[in-house]
Amino acid sequence: MNDENQIKRSLDQVVENLDQDTINQLDRVRRKALATNSKTKWYKNIYWPMLGPAMAAMLMIVVFLVSDGGNPIDTKAELLFDDLDLLSYEIDTELLEDLDFIAWLEDENVLAGELL
């Protein structure tokens, strides 16, 4: 602490002993430095032509992460492959026709029940 006080006193003495020309020169330099605001604005460092593509890429990422991933084309493709799987199995066609007939009867009974 004593060293700091000693340094401060010696600097104060040097400042008190400055001649008027040096004081005027320091004042001019100080005013010039204050006038040329050396702090750059935050928006001057942005490369503006790349802002649009960067924002579009971020939007695409957000949409990709938020979406549920359901695509109607994929659903139709899955149904198509399910039908192909059914056709590839060797199942008795009479059984399938009977199942279709049973489903038709159920539909008819439901419709008949609604009409009555």
Structure confidence by residue, pLDDT tens digits, 39-65: 777 777 777 788 888 999 999 998 888
The helix (run of H) or strand (run of E) holding residue 110 is helix 93-115
* Residues belonging to the chain: 116
Give 76-108 pLDDT, tens digit per residue: 666 666 666 666 666 666 666 777 778 887 887
In whole angstroms, give the CA distance from residue 91 to residue 88: 9
pTM higher than 0.75, yes or no? no
